[in-house]
């Protein structure tokens, strides 16, 4: 129960009068202070009694469609609530969506309701980012009068139905590492052992008997032990490239991308180094969270820009460094001034001195330098122009990082994979 500003003022006045009465032995102040103090207590009891009656009369009929969906998909919810508001009170109702979901359409709360029987209807849409069986969290009844306000969450069985069954949208391939994100097996010896066998050698005293390969030993008549690949932790930087809201994107592609990004970010946040996350949409840096351990902050960053508007667009953008390389290659053809390579080289020569690095390139360079990451994993829908992806791959290479690109299966046609393979990433994977 929260007091209003007026109530706090009256309480302060009552206590001041009582203190004044005690110090100066003033009975008039005592009478005034006591009347005000007990007036507030009396109003509090009346408010609680009326609130109890109001909350007791509350009911809810909720319909959601679909109830079986993929992660990130939108559910249309229609909630018809009813409540009898006692005289003197105002009420507002809020339907509480399942944990791990976000309201993406409409409002899940009602406008203030006056006294009498009220039947507001709430229509809104939620996007479920968590997976599994998700139940609604109930309904919150907010009541208030000029002196107090109160929020009563009602979480009984009728208020939490129906349950939503959310299937994972996609999982990022983790074959590069033996465990979670950031672990990679190497051919070098390392204190941490992976799961792959890099070689066999003769048994030496002191070797772990569990490493003995009994099949090979039986075949050759002497003991062999397995040498496991070393495991090195490479702190990854996860880049989520969200598709432009102005460009048609299949819902399953968008859902798969968001679901995979959340799944990967949650897994990375549990790692010792946290999750370094960069949310972009084309050449627009939307959020950068270096070494973030708070799952809620990560989810908020991805949810907030679920359908971004790209303020800056690139089309076949050329990196200045790459252009310099082209220009040097074309210098060999300078003898014949009328040939196409010579003309093209002349064009490069003319505009290259004036070219400045784009803001996105500068931001990426700073982010890669700050995150202390050793690998770069880019999750992208792979739609439209891929200049920003190419720029990311170039920046990663300059920073000495391995870079991987992963795209959702619905967008991974043979031509798409071929186009994206030439961007400069170490590998291009498909999110299943």
Partner 1 sequence: MTGKRPLAIAMAAAAGAALAASWWSGIPAGGALVAAACASAFFLALRAPSPGFFLVCLSQPLAFLAWQAAPLLSLLVELLVLTAVLQAAGLLGERGLRMKWAAFTVPAAVLVAGPALSRHVLMPLGAALLAAGVLGAGMLLYAYRVSNPAGGEAP
18 touching partner 1, by CB under 8 A? yes
5 touching partner 1, by CB under 8 A? yes
Based on CB atoms, which residue is closest to partner 1, 33 or 273? Answer: 33
> Looking at 44, 173, 290, 341, which residue binds partner 1 (CB under 8 A)?
44
Binding span for partner 1 by CB under 8 A among 47-55, 92-100, 361-369, 397-405: 47-55
123 touching partner 1, by CB under 8 A? no
Binding span for partner 1 by CB under 8 A among 11-19, 167-175, 206-214, 353-361: 11-19
Based on CB atoms, which residue is closest to partner 1, 54 or 225? Answer: 54
Q: Which of 308, 279, 306, 311 is nearest to 379 (CA)?
A: 279
Burial of 406: CB neighbours in 10 Å, binned 0-12, 13-18, 19+: buried
Based on CB atoms, which residue is closest to partner 1, 150 or 412? Answer: 150
Based on CB atoms, which residue is closest to partner 1, 163 or 417? Answer: 163
Write each residue from 157 to 176 as x if it is in contact with partner 1 (CB under 8 A), else as -, in one continuous string: --x-----------------
Q: Which two tokens stand for residue 149?
A: 């306000």
350 touching partner 1, by CB under 8 A? no
> Looking at 103, 104, 135, 151, which residue binds partner 1 (CB under 8 A)?
151
CA–CA distance, 142 with 151 (Å, rounded to integer): 4
Residue 420: which H helix or E strand, with range? helix 414-421
Upstream peptide bond of 162 is cis (omega within 30 degrees of 0): yes
3-state secondary structure of 333: helix
> Looking at 123, 155, 220, 329, which residue binds partner 1 (CB under 8 A)?
155
CA–CA distance, 206 with 375 (Å, rounded to integer): 36
> Looking at 3, 100, 125, 146, which residue binds partner 1 (CB under 8 A)?
146
Binding span for partner 1 by CB under 8 A among 32-40, 171-179, 191-199, 420-428: 32-40
Virtual torsion, Cα 351, 352, 357, 360, nearest 10 deg? 60
Based on CB atoms, which residue is closest to partner 1, 160 or 253? Answer: 160
Q: Which two tokens stand for residue 288?
A: 């950068």
Query: Nearest distance from residue 180's CB to partner 1, in Å?
Result: 36
> Looking at 75, 125, 152, 253, which residue binds partner 1 (CB under 8 A)?
152
Query: Nearest distance from residue 11's CB to partner 1, in Å?
Result: 10
Q: How many residues bind partner 1 (CB under 8 A)?
A: 49
DSSP category for residue 353:
G
> Looking at 150, 238, 257, 389, which residue binds partner 1 (CB under 8 A)?
150
58 touching partner 1, by CB under 8 A? yes
41 touching partner 1, by CB under 8 A? yes
Give backbone dihedrals phi and psi of 204, rounded to 5 degrees, phi first: -125, 150
Q: How many CB atoms lie within 10 A of CB 288?
A: 20
48 touching partner 1, by CB under 8 A? yes
32 touching partner 1, by CB under 8 A? yes
Upstream peptide bond of 66 is cis (omega within 30 degrees of 0): yes
Based on CB atoms, which residue is closest to partner 1, 18 or 178? Answer: 18
Terminal C-alpha separation, the chain: 49
Binding span for partner 1 by CB under 8 A among 14-22, 65-73, 97-105, 351-359: 14-22
Q: Which two tokens stand for residue 319?
A: 């990196």
One-character DSSP codes across 251-296: HHHHHHHHHHHHHHHHHHHTSTT-EEEEEESSS-EEEEEEEE--HH
The answer to whether the beta carbons of residues 253 and 387 sit under 8 Å apart is no
Question: Residues with Cβ < 8 Å from 338, sequence gap 6 or more?
Answer: none
Binding span for partner 1 by CB under 8 A among 24-32, 93-101, 205-213, 421-429: 24-32
The answer to whether the beta carbons of residues 226 and 215 sit under 8 Å apart is no
> Looking at 64, 67, 88, 417, which residue binds partner 1 (CB under 8 A)?
88
274 touching partner 1, by CB under 8 A? no
DSSP category for residue 71:
T
116 touching partner 1, by CB under 8 A? no
Residue with tokens 């908020």: 300
Contacts to partner 1 by CB under 8 A:
1, 5-6, 9-10, 13, 17-18, 21-22, 25-32, 34-39, 41-42, 44-46, 48, 51-52, 55-58, 87-88, 138, 145-146, 150-156, 159
């Amino acid at each position: 129960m929260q007091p209003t500003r007026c109530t706090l003022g009256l309480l302060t006045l009552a206590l001041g009068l009582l203190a004044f009465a005690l110090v100066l032995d003033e009975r008039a102040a005592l009478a005034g202070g006591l009347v005000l103090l007990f007036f507030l207590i009396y109003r509090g009891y009346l408010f609680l009694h009326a609130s109890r009656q109001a909350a007791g009369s509350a009911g809810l009929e909720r319909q959601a469609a679909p109830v079986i969906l993929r992660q990130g998909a939108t559910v249309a919810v229609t909630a018809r609530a009813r409540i009898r508001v006692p005289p003197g009170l105002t009420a507002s109702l809020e339907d509480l969506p399942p944990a791990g979901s976000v309201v993406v359409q409409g409002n899940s709360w009602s406008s203030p309701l006056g006294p009498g029987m009220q039947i507001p209807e709430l229509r809104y849409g939620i996007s479920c980012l968590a997976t599994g069986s998700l139940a609604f969290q109930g309904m919150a009844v907010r009541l208030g009068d000029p002196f107090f306000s109160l929020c009563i969450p009602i979480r009984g069985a009728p208020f939490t139905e129906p349950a939503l069954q959310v299937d994972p949208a996609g999982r990022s391939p983790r074959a590069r590492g033996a465990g979670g994100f950031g672990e990679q097996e190497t051919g070098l010896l390392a204190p941490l052992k992976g799961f792959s066998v890099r070689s066999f050698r003769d048994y030496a005293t002191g070797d772990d008997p569990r490493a003995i390969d009994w099949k090979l030993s039986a075949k050759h008549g002497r003991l062999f032990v397995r040498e496991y690949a070393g495991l090195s932790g490479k702190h990854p930087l996860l880049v989520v490239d969200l598709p432009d809201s102005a460009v048609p994107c299949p819902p399953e592609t968008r859902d798969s991308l968001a679901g995979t990004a959340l799944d990967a970010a949650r897994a990375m946040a549990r790692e010792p180094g946290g999750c370094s996350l960069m949310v972009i949409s084309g050449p627009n840096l939307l959020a950068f969270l270096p070494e973030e351990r708070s799952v809620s902050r990560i989810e908020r960053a991805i949810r907030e820009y679920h359908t971004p508007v790209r303020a800056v667009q690139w089309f076949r953008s050329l990196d200045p460094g790459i252009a310099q390389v082209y220009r040097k290659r074309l210098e060999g053809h300078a003898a014949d001034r009328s040939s196409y390579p010579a003309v093209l080289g002349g064009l490069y020569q003319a505009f290259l001195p004036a070219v400045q690095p784009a803001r996105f390139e500068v931001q990426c360079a700073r982010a890669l330098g700050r995150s202390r990451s050793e690998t770069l994993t880019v999750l992208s829908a792979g739609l439209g122009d891929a200049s920003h992806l190419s720029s990311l791959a170039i920046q990663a290479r300059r920073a000495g990082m391995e870079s991987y690109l992963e795209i959702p299966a619905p967008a991974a046609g043979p031509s798409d994979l071929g186009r994206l393979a030439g961007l400069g990433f170490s590998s291009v994977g498909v999110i299943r």
